[in-house]
Structure 1
Amino acid sequence: MDGGPRGIPLETKLQPTQARGQDTFEMVLATAGEMLRDTGFEQLTTNAICERAGLTPPALYRYFPNKYAILKELGDRLMAAQDQLVIAWLDGGGLGGRTVDERFASSLAIHEKIVAVTRAFPGGSAIGRALRAVPTLQRLRFDSRDMVADRFYAAVRDHYPNAPEARLRVAMRMMVELTYSAIEMVVEEPDRDADMINREVCLLFARYFETFE
């Protein structure tokens, strides 16, 4: 990604190699995640991060050029944590259930794991909102979802040899988008019934797969 709003750089300026630098780098990210959760992205500033973390601005700017670069790093890490769970699930046969009940149980298990990881991540629920609010950073989400959808397609292609490729690819992209949308509902709106949302979206796709047989 080349830049943020109006060409603002999004890449970290330097990756720390020593323990002290790594501590500072991680403190910036953890503090920014907490502040995203507490005050939202619009109120997040590099000066506010420094004040809360007990850092000087030069210490922060050694690694991050601006708050957008901090958000990008947080987004990269959160989506990597989510995607790693999904890929491991796929590689373990997560989409290979032969019955509705098997597919439902498998899907529900991975949903609950992703929700748990997202909730445990500093500022997890707020990071998704912030990424959607910054147009340039939306590409992070799209790239992640495209990659997972491609892995979904590869995992089910041999199970449904009679399904047209175009339809199966669209279906896998829909599955990924609806799955992550449901997860965002659960973590971003805690007053909703998380268990019901997880179960309904998993049941939807468990039955949907029958249409490809």
Structure 2
Amino acid sequence: MPSRDIDVVPVPDLSKKQTPVQKRSIDTLETILAVTAALLGEVGIERLSTNLICARAGLTPPALYRYFPNKYAVLKELGVRLMELMNEAYLTWVRANHPVPTHHTPQQQAERLRQIQEIINATTREFPGGVWVLRALRAVPVLQQVRLESHNFVAERSFQEVRGHYPHTSEAELRLATRLTVEVMYGATEMVFDEPGIDDNLINREIAEMVVRYFGKFAEREAALLPAD
């Protein structure tokens, strides 16, 4: 059979064209972002367009294109900002709990994790259009790297925090464990907003307890390798 060329889907340009310096330009860019965040909740990702953004913002298309080449670049900027806020919230929580307590009971460990889950959920709620930005980072393929970079950053920092507690666990296994933990906790945050009929406090508590039980296998392994008294 003759070979067929595989259609290559063009990847939209996601780079911000200009970084404004003057106040008027900064205000224009911030208006674009604020309007986009508001429109996301009204029309969704698919129906969002640069023309719609311009009409709502009272801007001409050239004014928008001075900063963003397309709607995906605007969404990326919103996504980057949300992920940066999440990362900073996580780092603040880490600093407040550093070093990771070794004497805490599983219940105390779960409570600590429940707290950061609440913080991340609140960060999403407080961000303009946060729930829809969260969904865009999952649904739009070209935006997924923004989410993955944030997750890898948090997973690496988590690995550094807990590495000393599990000296007999391989680096590869522990890195995978922290990466999986970030993914499932982020998934729980998405579930809070996608399933509003389920008590978010219950979701937070359950995911925290799941993570503690998961890391319990590493703790049990370490305890079994301790020298007998």
TM-score normalised to structure 2 length: 0.86
Partner of 1:212: 218
Between the aligned partners of 1:33 and 1:188, the Cα distance in structure 2 is 18
Between the aligned partners of 1:18 and 1:196, the Cα distance in structure 2 is 47
Note the 1:19-168 alignment, pairs <5 A: 19-93=23-97, 96-97=100-101, 98-168=104-174
Query: How far does residue 211 in structure 1 lie from its aligned partner after superposition?
Result: 1.6
CA RMSD of aligned residues (A): 1.5
Structure 1, gaps ≥5 residues long:
none
SS in 2 for 1:42: helix
Partner of 1:12: 16
Paired amino acid for 1:15: T
Between the aligned partners of 1:202 and 1:40, the Cα distance in structure 2 is 31
Post-superposition CA distance 1:52-79 (Å, at most 9, x none): 1222222211111110100110010011
Equivalenced residue count is 209
Between the aligned partners of 1:188 and 1:62, the Cα distance in structure 2 is 35
SS in 2 for 1:192: coil
Partner of 2:225: none
Whether contact under 8 Å (1:119, 1:187) holds in the other structure is no
**Pair member with larger Rg:** 2
TM-score normalised to structure 1 length: 0.92
Between the aligned partners of 2:36 and 2:194, the Cα distance in structure 1 is 17
Whether contact under 8 Å (1:186, 1:197) holds in the other structure is yes
Whether contact under 8 Å (1:118, 1:187) holds in the other structure is no
Paired amino acid for 2:96: G
Identity percentage of aligned residues: 47
Between the aligned partners of 2:93 and 2:166, the Cα distance in structure 1 is 19
